[in-house]
Structure 1
C-alpha cells in the first residue's frame, strides 16, 4: 500500500510556477470536482461546465504567476477563476446565440412554459393571438420580443437577409395590431 501523496499550498504554488506537470495533475485531480460544481452552478449546462472547467485550468496554468498568497488562498483564487470563466461564457454572444438556436431547433419557440414572459402575458390571450400569425412571423416575434434578439441576430440565426427579417417583423406587427383591435 502506497502512501497518499499530498502537498501544502506553498508546494502547489511553487510546483505550478515551476511548470511541474505532476503538481498540475494533482491539482486537477483534487480540485476539479469543486471547480466543476462552481461552473455548473453558474452555467447550468453540464457540457458547457466541462468546457469551462478545462478553460479555467488552462487559465490557472497560464496565470499562476499572478497569484498573490497575501490576497487569499490558492483554492479561493482558483474558484474565482472558474466562476469568472463561467460568467464570461454566460455573457458571451456565442453562448446566447447557441441558446437561441437550441430553442428554435427544439420547436419550443412559443410553447415553452418555462418562459416567464409567456406566462405573464398569457392572461391577455397573446399566445392565442400569436398562433394566428404565420410560423415565420411567430418565430421572428418570439426571437425579438421574448428572447431579446436584434434584427441582425435574427437574420444570422435564421440565415435569412436582414431586409427579410425587417419585412416579416413589420408585417407581423401590422397583423398583430389588427388582431388585437378586433378583440
Structure 2
C-alpha cells in the first residue's frame, strides 16, 4: 500500500490503517529510537508512545510540507529526545551496573548499520563533511542546537544556519 492510499484511511481513523502503518514503519522508527535510547524496554515504550501520537495527531499532518514518513520521523526523534531529557528516565539511568555499558564498544558499527537500513546514510555521505558532522550530532545523536554549538565550538547562529543549509542539500538528494 502506498502513502497516498494509506493516508485517507488514517484520517478516517480506520483500525486496519493503523495496523498497516505499524507494519510498514515500526522497524525503521524503532531503529531511530534505539540510536538514542539504548535500553530496549524504554525504546519499546517510546515506540508505543510514538504510534499513539501519530494516531492521535494524524489530522495535523500536512502533505504540502513533506512526506508522511518525514513527519513520523520528527515525532519519533522528538519523543525520543523528550524521553532522554525526562527526570524519571535520567534517574533510572543513574544506578546502572557496568554490564549495561559493555555493548557500547560495539555500537559504533551497529549505529552505522541501523542508519543505513533506513537508507539515509548514503545520502548523508554525499554531503560536505561539516554537514555530516552537524546532522550526526543533531539528528542521530539527539543533541540540541546549543549542545552541538558547544561540541563543535562554533556560534549557535552558525549551527542553525549550517543545519538549515545542510537539510536543504539533503532534501535535494532525496528529491523531497
Alignment TM-score, normalising by the size of structure 1:
0.52
Tell which has more relative contact order, 1 or 2 (C-alpha 8 A, sep 6+): 2
CA distance in 2 between partners of 1:79 and 1:52 (Å): 13
CA distance in 1 between partners of 2:38 and 2:48 (Å): 16
CA distance in 2 between partners of 1:26 and 1:81 (Å): 18
4+ residue stretches of structure 1 with deviation over 6 A?
A: none
Unaligned runs of 5+ in 1: 1-5, 114-183
Q: How does 1:53-72 map to 2 (within 5 A)?
A: 53-72=47-66
CA distance in 1 between partners of 2:83 and 2:36 (Å): 10
* CA-CA distance at 1:11 after TM superposition: 2.1
> What SS class does the counterpart of residue 13 from structure 2 fall into?
coil
Deviations, residues 59-101 of structure 1 (Å, cap 9, x unaligned): 000000110011110011111111111000000000001111x
Deviations, residues 136-181 of structure 1 (Å, cap 9, x unaligned): xxxxxxxxxxxxxxxxxxxxxxxxxxxxxxxxxxxxxxxxxxxxxx
Who is 2:73 aligned against?
79
* CA-CA distance at 1:19 after TM superposition: 0.5
Unaligned runs of 5+ in 2: 103-176
CA distance in 2 between partners of 1:51 and 1:26 (Å): 20
> What SS class does the counterpart of residue 17 from structure 2 fall into?
helix
Structure label with greater radius of gyration:
1
CA distance in 1 between partners of 2:67 and 2:20 (Å): 17
Q: How many residues align?
A: 100
* CA-CA distance at 1:13 after TM superposition: 1.5
* CA-CA distance at 1:21 after TM superposition: 0.7
